[in-house]
Amino acid sequence: MKKISALVLALMLTACASAPRIAAPNLIKAPQPIVGNSGKFMSPYTEDGTVAAWVEKGRNASIGANLGGFVGAQAGQKVAEQIPFVGGLIGQKLGETAGRAIAIKMAGGEEFIRANSDLSFNTVNEMAVYMYAKNSTHKDFAEALKLAQDIYPELKTAYYPAIINASVGVN
């Protein structure tokens, strides 16, 4: 019994020691953004570090995205009544799509977002790391990140792993 306890303790200590660590924002090397709006992902921050006009306009976008997710979930529930399992997946996708469309509309539309962005990125991972390294101390960071995640749903799952990867090797 003592051997099993010792083994469990050793495994727990190893797991704690190998947990991913996130470096402080000022220690992470930020990727170089594209100056202008030619990238796929528009930064919610401008070159001077202020929130973009579309973020200001989209302050209510998270309400819209949540409403879209609710509508999609309701549609998925109706489909799920007919087709178990698959209906839930369809509902989730509908919710994401509806939430994104509503968030974009609340922020002024895709043209407005692009026209009022002076920094962009080719990948969502670059945008995630840049935002963390350069903007995470901004007073409106949580709101800007949430809006960016509503507009770019892939940022929701990419944000944390991208920062962990950028933290590797940082002391």
Residues 166/129, Cβ–Cβ less than 8 Å: yes
Selected residue with higher pLDDT from 149 and 75:
149
Mean pLDDT for 144-158 is 93
Pairwise CA distance, residues 1 & 108, whole Å: 64
* pLDDT score, position 82: 57
The model's pLDDT over 41-58, given as tens digits with 9 standing for 90+, comes to 999 999 999 999 999 888
Token pair for residue 78? 């109706």
Mean pLDDT for 150-158 is 93
pLDDT at 165 over 70: yes
Indicate the domain borders of the chain. 35-167
Tell me the CA end-to-end span of the chain in Å, nearest whole number: 39
Token pair for residue 35? 């100056």
* pLDDT score, position 67: 47
Pairwise CA distance, residues 142 & 145, whole Å: 5
Size of the chain in residues: 171
| Adjacency order of strands within the sheet including 119-121 | 34-35, 119-121, 41-42
* pLDDT score, position 56: 87
The model's pLDDT over 92-127, given as tens digits with 9 standing for 90+, comes to 555 566 777 888 888 888 999 999 999 999 999 999
Percent of the chain scored above 90 by pLDDT?
53
Percent of the chain scored above 70 by pLDDT?
65
